[in-house]
Each structure stands twice: as structure tokens, then as C-alpha cells.
Amino acid sequence: MAKTETRAVSDIREHLERFRGVTLQTLEWVPDGTLHFAPQEGLRPFDEQFLHIARTEEYHIRGLLLGDWNRERYFARPSELTREALRRILDETRGVTLKALDELDPARLDDHVQVPDVPVDWTLRAWLWYLVEHEVHHKAQLALYLRLVGVIPPFFALAFPPGVRPDVRG
């Protein structure tokens, strides 16, 4: 069982890393001057979508794996949301996540954990997969935003070179 559980953590880690590569590629493909673009009022612009991905991951990883449910850190925002600041935040957050996953006892995956103010009964495994799904969800929104500003988004699952899209015929 321990080998299976260790594999489960490795699978989560692999998905997080693969999808983060595409998220970072998406950030690089946002055209200059459009980082603050939102399709309509009331929707998060590009920059805040990227920040939300990072801060949600940080909040949940620090809470779930490190026991630190500091909401103030979740809402922390740099003075200016630049491409460089967002890349740094995404990279730093992922560093915390990978370190915490490296130190995670896989036997904890089936423990039920409670996230403050969220009325669901999920296991740690389910919450970790939620973080993968959360990034995919917002990455899809970012892909739509790119289309709206005239950019064909990166392939959703792997960071390929620009123009390489196995899902689109050449």
C-alpha cells in the first residue's frame, strides 16, 4: 500500500508541474499592454487570474500540509502585478508546494481534512487533486482571454514550443 500511496503523491506532483508549465507559458504569451485585460466588468483580468491561481495553491498547501491557514497571506498582493512579479509568485508558490509534497507522509492521503469555511468532507488526496483541477479551470479561462486578444493559446496539457498544437491540424 505504501508504494501505491507514494505513487499517488508522484502523480499529483507530475500533474501540478506539467500544468504549471503551460500556465507559465500562457503568462509569457499574454501580449504586452494586455496584462490587465478582462473580457467584461466583474471578471478577473489576466493578471489577477494568475495571482488567484498562485494564492489559492499557497493557501491550501500551507493549510493542508503545513497547518497554516493564514488568510491574510492569501489576499496579499504585490504593489504592481507585472509579468515578472507574477512569474516569481507562481514559482515561489510552486516551490513551497513541491517541498511540502516531498515531506508529505503518503499515509495521510486518505485523512479527512477540513478547510476553513468550506463545508465539504474531503480527503487530503481530494484536496490535492482539487488544486490540480483549480489550475486547469483557470488556465481554460486564460486560454479564452488569449483568444479574445488575438493569440492562439498554448496546448492545454503540455508546454510545447510556440505553434505546436497536436490538437489542431496544420
In angstroms, the CA 27 to CA 3 distance is: 36
Give the domain CATH number at 32: 1.20.120.450
Instruction: Indicate the pTM of the whole model.
Output: 0.92
Q: Is residue 154 assigned to a domain?
A: no
Cell for 64? 493542508
- Mean pLDDT (the chain) is 92
Tens-digit pLDDT profile for residues 93-139: 999 999 999 999 999 999 999 999 899 999 999 999 999 999 999 99
Residue 48 domain boundaries? 2-148
Cβ pair 12, 101 in contact under 8 A: yes
